[in-house]
Structure 1
Amino acid sequence: MTRERIRFAAVGCGRVFQRYHLPCADDRDTMELVGLVDADVERARSLTADRPQVWTGTSVDRLIHETRPDLISVCTPNDAHAEPVLAALDAGIAVLCEKPLAATVEEARRMAAHPAAEKLLGVNMPFRFHPLLEAFADAARPGAQRVDFSFATPGNRVWRACTPWYGDARRAGGGALLDLGPHALDLLMTVFGPPDVEACEVDAPGVEERVRLDLSFQGVPATLRIDRAARRLETSVTVTTADGDHVLDLRRNELRRADGTVESAGQGPELAAISAYFDLVTGAPAPHPKVTAQEALEVQLVVESAYRRAGVAAAPLPQGR
């Protein structure tokens, strides 16, 4: 694609769009915001008070017809990803979708199977682009004996959605595992390849806040613990080898090797997937390839398998564990 002026639009104007997608677009002179869709049209209008030329409304079809975008970000609740993504693909428009790909595997399969998905659809899963991940993999992958991933966050006490959909099982499609699990699983799968799901425990049916997921990567045992209602912040993966522990601390952006050396990165990967896709569409040099719909589907299939394990073979985790 050439570096012509890219007409940018978005569906869903909540926290993720406001904090990540819109600033990332505004940083690019080659991108012009032309339209916003939100179930609350007043929210969309409040974001464009100083941009009177931007079209706002509640209809994806009208957005496409009225604004003729080259690129659409989809930042809606999970159950509302499929319709705007498929509409954009049908119209030949590049589209960046928030994770997970959809609230259900069936919808995710439909999106990944669209004939234009491979070319036009990207997914915002940025952890694989952490600047220290390659060095971490080089240090930790040879001789790995065990993997532990801890993901703790105060959740909605800090990150408050504009609408309370996180607690609605139909809208969210699940709880902490479907919400935060794709970040962790995509990173682990980037380093170790596809996993086998061994066991899964959740603290509640429908919308869980705490998860323990046991995996194996070609015989190497791994445990992913997610606590979305914690009183602390932690995002770290530890790989135990014969030499000791190698730790990638994604919150502090540090790699702590078993030999005691520490390597730091100036910033984390939060905007990496968005930036990479925007660069791809605008024709700017992109430091990373996009995350494809097929890759996002493979992650979601692991999540789905874990939920089946939790429902059949595991009792819920006790509250507070």
Structure 2
Amino acid sequence: MTPAAETPRGRRVRFAAVGCGRVFERYHLPCVDARDDVELVGAVDTDVERARALTADRPAVWTGDSVQRLIAATRPDALSVCTPNDAHAEPVIAALDAGVAVLCEKPLAATAAAARRMAEHPAAALLSVNLPFRCHPLAAPLAAAAGAGARHVTAAVATPGNRVWRAYTPWYGDRARAGGGALLDLGPHLLDLLVTVFGAPEVRECTVDAPDVEERARVELAFPGDLPATLRIDRAARRLETSVTLTTADGDHVLDLRRNEFRHADGTVTPAVGRPELAAVTAFFDRLTGVDAAFAPPAGAKEALEVQLLVESAYGCARTARLP
């Protein structure tokens, strides 16, 4: 790799992307454009015209459909992998083989076997995963409230799914490409936060609304100290919600990640600024450029694999039933 130049903020990072769909457009690219210490130098996609259209106003950006050629032509310092789940492993491993830092989208892979292959790579220390809520400053008041004595935790994600998301490629309904349904798609976000705050849990039971690609899931967990927790996922809802409710002797404390606030049981509110869904991407670039970090470090390969194995454990004991 070419040594990164210096900017007034720190190192200047040459950045490339694999996968130019909605995730890259909405999360990774805005973070790059907001910085003067990260330069987009290349982008590839199986649909080359999409990559070219997305970078049409950036004539110096190399585009194509080959990850190996991207790395050879652009010599990036960092690379994002924003492909469908079954296409995470190969570009991640190619980048790690080349000594390039990687930010991979969640989940780590479509299967636990592929995720383990990535996590066990000799250069896995260069791999980060976009699990943003562990990085968010409102995780701290959640942990503080838990320290006062937690009795129950309820974590919930609700979204209208494709009615809002409208992915360019309809791979979310393909079990082979996605690796699962709503639980594997949305569950890692909150599972990673819960593991960060409460430790590694045991999966007690799991219910899904379909045997292959579910839209709704409910998982019952037990965290250290026999702390019970419920995770609810609804990818076919008519509302939007991403929250963690912590019940203590004082009442309910609510981390509302859509409103970007922590509502304490006593009625006081701790707000946060910015977009929590961008926390891990920002933290990844902060660490690479050497500037003062705005957020906690992003999840590494080991932490992402732990979350993936939790999801696999839930699927392993899942029963199919109607969920409200």
TM over 0.5: yes
- Percent identity at matched positions? 71
Residue 56 of structure 1 aligns to which amino acid in structure 2?
T
Residue 217 of structure 1 aligns to which amino acid in structure 2?
F
- Give the Cα–Cα distance (whole angstroms) in 1 for the partners of residues 304 and 228 of structure 2: 23
- Give the Cα–Cα distance (whole angstroms) in 2 for the partners of residues 141 and 222 of structure 1: 16
Residue 128 of structure 1 aligns to which amino acid in structure 2?
R
Identify the range of structure 1 (170-179 vs 252-261) with the bigger mean alpha-carbon deviation.
252-261
Contact 2:107 2:308 (C-alpha < 8 Å) held by counterparts: yes
Number of aligned residue pairs: 315
The equivalent of 1:25 in structure 2 is 32
Residue 259 of structure 1 aligns to which amino acid in structure 2?
D
The equivalent of 1:302 in structure 2 is 310
Deviation at 1:59, TM superposition (A): 0.6
The equivalent of 2:222 in structure 1 is 216
Contact 1:130 1:268 (C-alpha < 8 Å) held by counterparts: no
The reply on whether 1:92 has 2:92 as its aligned counterpart is: no
Q: Which digits, 9 at most, give the CA deviation of each residue in 1:274-316, with x for residues without a partner?
A: 1111121122222322310000000111000000010xxx2x1
The reply on whether 1:254 has 2:232 as its aligned counterpart is: no
- Give the Cα–Cα distance (whole angstroms) in 2 for the partners of residues 42 and 282 of structure 1: 31
Contact 1:196 1:217 (C-alpha < 8 Å) held by counterparts: yes
Q: Which digits, 9 at most, give the CA deviation of each residue in 1:127-156, with x for residues without a partner?
A: 112222211221234221111112111111
Task: Describe how 1:1-321 pairs up with structure 2 within 5 A.
Answer: 3-118=10-125, 120-218=126-224, 219-287=226-294, 288-310=296-318, 314=319, 316-318=320-322, 321=324
Q: Which digits, 9 at most, give the CA deviation of each residue in 1:61-105, with x for residues without a partner?
A: 111111111111000000000000000000111111000000000
Deviation at 1:243, TM superposition (A): 1.7
Q: Which digits, 9 at most, give the CA deviation of each residue in 1:31-74, with x for residues without a partner?
A: 22111110100000001111112111111111111111111100
Deviation at 1:263, TM superposition (A): 2.0
RMSD between aligned residues = 1.3
Q: Which digits, 9 at most, give the CA deviation of each residue in 1:185-215, with x for residues without a partner?
A: 0111111100000000000112110000000
Per the alignment, in what secondary structure is the counterpart of residue 26 of structure 2?
helix
> What 5-or-longer segments of structure 1 have no aligned partner?
none
TM-score if structure 1 supplies the norm length?
A: 0.95
* Cα distance change of structure 1 residues 246 and 11 upon mapping to structure 2, 3 Å threshold: same
Contact 1:250 1:268 (C-alpha < 8 Å) held by counterparts: no
* Cα distance change of structure 1 residues 217 and 4 upon mapping to structure 2, 3 Å threshold: closer
- Give the Cα–Cα distance (whole angstroms) in 2 for the partners of residues 41 and 268 of structure 1: 30
Residue 212 of structure 1 aligns to which amino acid in structure 2?
R
- Give the Cα–Cα distance (whole angstroms) in 2 for the partners of residues 34 and 143 of structure 1: 49
- Give the Cα–Cα distance (whole angstroms) in 1 for the partners of residues 128 and 136 of structure 2: 18
Deviation at 1:317, TM superposition (A): 2.5
Residue 60 of structure 1 aligns to which amino acid in structure 2?
V
- Give the Cα–Cα distance (whole angstroms) in 1 for the partners of residues 37 and 248 of structure 2: 47
Per the alignment, in what secondary structure is the counterpart of residue 232 of structure 1?
coil
Contact 1:210 1:317 (C-alpha < 8 Å) held by counterparts: no
Residue 317 of structure 1 aligns to which amino acid in structure 2?
A
Q: Which digits, 9 at most, give the CA deviation of each residue in 1:154-174, with x for residues without a partner?
A: 111001111001111011000
